[in-house]
Structure 1
Amino acid sequence: MASETPAAARTRRDQLRDFLRTRRARLTPEDVGMAAGGRRRTPGLRREEVAVLAGVGVSWYTWLEQGRDINVSVEVLDAISGALRLNGPERIHLYTLAGVNPPRDGGPRATSVTPELRNLIEAWMPRPAMLRDRYWNLLVLNGTARTVFGYGDTDHNCLVTFFTNARYRAMRVHWASVAPDVVAAFRADAARFPDDTEFGRLVDDLSTVSPDFAELWARHDVGDHVQTVKAVLHPEAGDLVFDKTTLTVADRPDWTLELYNPRPGTGTEDRLALLAHAPAATSA
C-alpha cells in the first residue's frame, strides 16, 4: 500500500483491532463446529480458537488483534477471513486495515498446486479425494470429500479438523479407537522434519483447545499410516466405507494425495450415488 504517516498507521491498526474483536465476538463455537468448552466470560470465539481454525500461531494472532505492527501475508489473511466467516466486503476491509493491497474479490487464491493435480482431484468425483502438505494442511479437496467427511469452509488442517470439528467427529465411526493412531502418525511425520518449528506451533495451539489431543500427544506414541479403511456414518447417506490409497507427489515428497474408493460389498457406491444426486446436495 502507499506510504502513510505514523499517526495514520496507528489509526488503521486500532481499527483492525476493533474489527477483529467484533468479528470474533459474533461467532460461537457451535457456529464453526467446535465444542463450547464450558462457561465463557465473554461472548464469541476465543483468540486461540480463531488461531487454530486459521492455522496461525496464537501469539501471532493475538499481536494482530492487539494492533501491533507485524508483517502479514495474503495467505494468512485469507485463512483468518475463513475462520471468522467474513463476507466479500469484510474480507477486503480486513486486507485494508492490515496494510495489504486487497485482491480482487472472488479472485483465485495464490497457490503452488499445479492444475494437473487439481484436475485429478476433481476428476476423482464422485469419489472423495484430497491433497495435504507435511503439516496435514488441506491444500485441495473435492466436493465429495467435503460432503462425505464433514469438512466445512473453515477447515484447513486434517489434524485440527479431526479433534475440533464436532460434525466430523460425530460422523467418524470408532473415532476414539482411531484417534491414537492418527496422533501417532502425525508424530512420525513431524519427526521427519526435526528443524521445522511449524510442527511445534501446531501441536501447542491444538493442545490448548483439545484436551483429547493433548493427552494423546503426551503419550509419545509413534506409528505409520496404517489406517487403510475409513468409515463414516453420514447423516443422510448412512454407513459409508472407503478404501484409502495414499500417494506421495513425485516433485513434492512432503505432499500426500489421498484417494478414496467405495469398499466393495458395503453398499457405499450406491449410497454415494444417491447422495450426489440428492436435492440437498445439488442446491448447496
Structure 2
Amino acid sequence: MAGQVEERADGAKARRRSELRDFLMSRRARVTPAEAGLPDGGRRRTPGLRREEVAVLAGVGASWYQWLEQGRNISVSPQVLDAVSRVLKLSGTERRHLYVLAGLNPPAPRAEEGAADMCEGLRRLIDTWMPYPAHIMDRYYNCVIYNDAAATVLAMRPGTTQNCVLDFFTDPMYRSRSVSWRENAATLVAQLRAACSEHPEDEGFQELLTRLHATGDEFTSLWERQDIRPAGQVHKELDHPLVGILHVESTALKVPARPDLTIVLHTPLPLADTAAKLAWLASPEARRGAMYRVAG
C-alpha cells in the first residue's frame, strides 16, 4: 500500500513538471523582445524570448532557468517565481498557476487587470435577482451595490454607514425588523473573524474593528468568543412593517475574477408565504406605500 501511494505521488509530480515545462515555454513564446524592452535582433528561429533572455531579465542564472523550464527537481522561491511572472507578463491567474506547478502554495487571488468593468455586469445580475434582495460588498463589508429589494426589505439606504457589519449593529431600522438578529449576530462576527484572520496585517480590517468595538459591548462580547466560521448561508427571519414575517436565506458568493467582491443573494424560504410577499413588495402598489415613511 505504501509503495502504491509513493508511486502515485511520483506520477503526480512528473505530470506537474511536464505541465510546468509546457506552460513556461508557451508563455515565453508569446512575449516579444520589444515587449520585454530588448532590441529585436533580427529574425529568430522561434517566436518570443529565448531562455537566456528570460533568465537575465528575471535576475536568475541561465542554467537554473533552463532546469526550471525542463521541469527538473530544483528548489524555487516565491521571489524568483514573481520575477519570472513579471518577465513573462503573467496574469494573476497565470501567476497562481505557476506557483502550483512549481509546488508552492499560490498567493491570494487578486482582481485581474481590466476586471473593474465587471461591476456593470454584476449590477445586472443583482437587478435580475428582483424581487429578491441582493447586494455586493467589498472585502471590508462595505456595500458597493444593492438592488431595490435590498432597500425595501433590508432597509439598505443612503444615510447609513453603508457597511454591512456596522449597519447590522447600529441601524435601528434593520434591527427592529430582524427577528433573528441575536442568532445572526454571532454568525456574522464569527465570519468576520475568519476574514480578518486571512489578512492579519490589513489596515482596512483593523480600522473596521476599531469602529465596531466603539459601537458597544454587543460586538466586543461576541468578538471575544474567538468563534470562526466561513461565509456561507444564513437563515434570516424578518418582520417587515408592510407584510409581516419573512424567511430568507442569504448566500455569499465569490467571483474568481473579482476576489475583492462578495455577492450576497437572498432566496425566499418556503415559510410564511415569503416569495409572494417579496413579489408584492416589488410591485407598483407597494412602492406607492412610500416605504421609508413607514416607521421601523
Q: Which residue does 2:242 correspond to in 1?
A: 236
Does structure 1 residue 127 correspond to structure 2 residue 136? no
Q: Which residue does 2:173 correspond to in 1?
A: 167
Partner of residue 189 from structure 2, selected from 183, 194, 204: 183
Q: Which residue does 1:194 correspond to in 2?
A: 200
CA contact (8 A) 2:136 2:145 kept: yes
Q: 1:69-80, aligned counterparts within 5 Å?
A: none
Does structure 1 residue 146 correspond to structure 2 residue 151? yes
CA contact (8 A) 2:246 2:274 kept: yes
Q: Which residue does 2:209 correspond to in 1?
A: 203
Q: 1:46-57, aligned counterparts within 5 Å?
A: none
CA contact (8 A) 1:163 1:210 kept: no
Give the deviation of 1:263 after TM superposition: 1.2
Aligned equivalents of 1:273, 1:197: Cα separation in 2:
41
TM-score (norm. length: structure 2)? 0.55
Q: Identity of aligned pairs, percent? A: 37
- Cα deviations by residue, 1:110-153 (Å, 9 ceiling, x for unpaired): x8652111111111111111111111110110010111012231
Aligned equivalents of 1:193, 1:145: Cα separation in 2:
29
Q: 1:40-51, aligned counterparts within 5 Å?
A: none
Aligned equivalents of 2:289, 2:245: Cα separation in 1:
23
Q: Which residue does 2:107 correspond to in 1?
A: none
SS at match of 2:214: helix
CA contact (8 A) 1:185 1:222 kept: yes
Does structure 1 residue 212 correspond to structure 2 residue 246? no
Gaps of 5+ in 2: 1-115, 291-296
Q: Which residue does 2:49 correspond to in 1?
A: none
Partner of residue 266 from structure 1, selected from 268, 272, 275: 272
Give the deviation of 1:213 after TM superposition: 0.9
Give the deviation of 1:278 after TM superposition: 5.8
AA aligned opposite 1:249: V
Does structure 1 residue 117 correspond to structure 2 residue 128? no
Aligned equivalents of 1:228, 1:184: Cα separation in 2:
12
CA contact (8 A) 2:246 2:271 kept: no
Give the deviation of 1:280 after TM superposition: 5.2
Q: Which residue does 1:253 correspond to in 2?
A: 259
Aligned equivalents of 2:153, 2:211: Cα separation in 1:
27
AA aligned opposite 1:183: V
TM-score (norm. length: structure 1)? 0.57
CA contact (8 A) 1:164 1:210 kept: no
- Cα deviations by residue, 1:22-48 (Å, 9 ceiling, x for unpaired): xxxxxxxxxxxxxxxxxxxxxxxxxxx
Gaps of 5+ in 1: 1-110
Q: Which residue does 2:141 correspond to in 1?
A: 136
Aligned equivalents of 2:288, 2:181: Cα separation in 1:
29
Aligned equivalents of 2:119, 2:276: Cα separation in 1:
32
CA contact (8 A) 1:163 1:169 kept: yes
Q: Which residue does 1:14 correspond to in 2?
A: none
Q: Which residue does 2:17 correspond to in 1?
A: none
- Cα deviations by residue, 1:44-103 (Å, 9 ceiling, x for unpaired): xxxxxxxxxxxxxxxxxxxxxxxxxxxxxxxxxxxxxxxxxxxxxxxxxxxxxxxxxxxx
AA aligned opposite 2:184: V
Give the deviation of 1:157 after TM superposition: 0.7
Q: 1:210 to 1:127 in 2, by over 3 A?
A: same
AA aligned opposite 2:179: V
CA contact (8 A) 2:251 2:266 kept: yes
Give the deviation of 1:264 after TM superposition: 2.3
Give the deviation of 1:245 after TM superposition: 2.5
Does structure 1 residue 221 correspond to structure 2 residue 230? no
